[in-house]
């Protein structure tokens, strides 16, 4: 198959497997999504979803969160890991939203990435899932699968994002990035598949015998 043929097959098969693309992180609005995505760094979505109810019961908007002591935030989110950094970021970004954005999460990549604790991936998730702006956030699952399916050379996540945006229509990005994540968690896992085991890997590369070494 050519790269274009592989891309078309991947998109069609994932749509069959995952016609619905629910957002994995529980949230109520752009602000609670932003906080949940920030907490998900080096933490599973499942764990984040167990922690955010207590945090949002305490404060679920920038004004309320800005009044909560950082130590209190840290105590709640500690199971997510990196709690000193994340709690400080949550407190500070809440104050910035109040001071600079009228208490609203901006629908703007540059403004989001200027917030403490918010990198390009987090901004991309918020833009795509909260505001419906086409984006292609690349997490570990997408980075791994894109390499196994030879949709990118996988030198880094920046290159992977660029290559995937070129491979798929812009209007498909928001659903497709979630479908790849779902497939990577369920079928083409880091340990359960090495590029030769799962259905899509075997279909795209039926003659592949050597495992694919994933670049980080």
Residues 48 and 108 in one domain: yes
pLDDT tens track for 145-155 = 999 999 998 78
CATH at residue 154: 1.10.1670.10
Give the pLDDT band of residue 196 (cuts 50, 70, 90): very high
pTM (2 d.p.): 0.91
Q: Over the stretch 58-115, which tens digit does the pLDDT of each residue have?
A: 999 999 999 999 999 999 999 999 999 999 999 999 999 999 999 999 999 999 999 9
Of 99, 114, 131, which residue constitutes the final position of a domain? 131
**Full residue range of the structural domain in which residue 7 is found:** 3-21+136-204
DSSP assignment of the chain equals --HHHHHHHHHHHHHHH-S----SS--SSHHHHHHHHHHTTTS-HHHHHHHHHHHHHH--SHHHHHTS-HHHHHHHHGGGS-HHHHHHHHHHHHHHHHHHHTTS--S-HHHHHTSTT--HHHHHHHHHHHH--------HHHHHHHHHTTS---S-HHHHHHHHHHHS-GGGHHHHHHHHHHHHHHTS-TTT-SSSSSHHHHHH-TT--SPPPPP-
Q: How many structural domains are present in the chain?
A: 2
pLDDT at 216 over 80: no
Q: Given 70, 102, 131, which residue is the final one in a domain? A: 131
**Which residues are tagged catalytic?**
121, 139
Residue 214 lies in a domain: no
């Amino acid at each position: 198959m050519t790269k274009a043929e592989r891309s078309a097959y991947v998109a069609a098969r994932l749509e069959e497997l995952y016609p619905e693309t629910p957002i994995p992180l529980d949230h109520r609005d752009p602000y609670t999504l932003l906080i949940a995505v920030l907490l998900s760094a080096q933490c599973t979505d499942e764990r984040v979803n167990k922690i955010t109810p207590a945090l949002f019961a305490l404060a679920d908007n920038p004004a309320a969160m800005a009044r909560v002591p950082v130590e209190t935030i840290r105590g709640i989110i500690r199971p997510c890991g990196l709690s000193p950094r994340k709690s400080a970021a949550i407190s500070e970004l809440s104050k910035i939203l109040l001071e600079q954005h009228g208490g609203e999460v901006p629908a703007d990549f540059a403004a989001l990435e200027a917030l403490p604790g918010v990198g390009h991936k987090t901004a991309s998730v918020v833009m795509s899932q909260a505001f419906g702006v086409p984006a292609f956030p690349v997490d570990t699952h997408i980075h791994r699968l894109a390499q196994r399916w030879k949709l990118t050379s996988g030198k880094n996540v920046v290159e992977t994002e660029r290559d995937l945006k070129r491979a798929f229509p812009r209007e498909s990005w928001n659903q497709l990035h979630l479908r790849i994540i779902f497939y990577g968690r369920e079928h083409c896992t880091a340990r359960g598949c090495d590029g030769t085991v799962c259905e899509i890997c075997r279909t795209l590369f039926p003659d592949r015998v050597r495992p694919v070494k994933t670049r980080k």
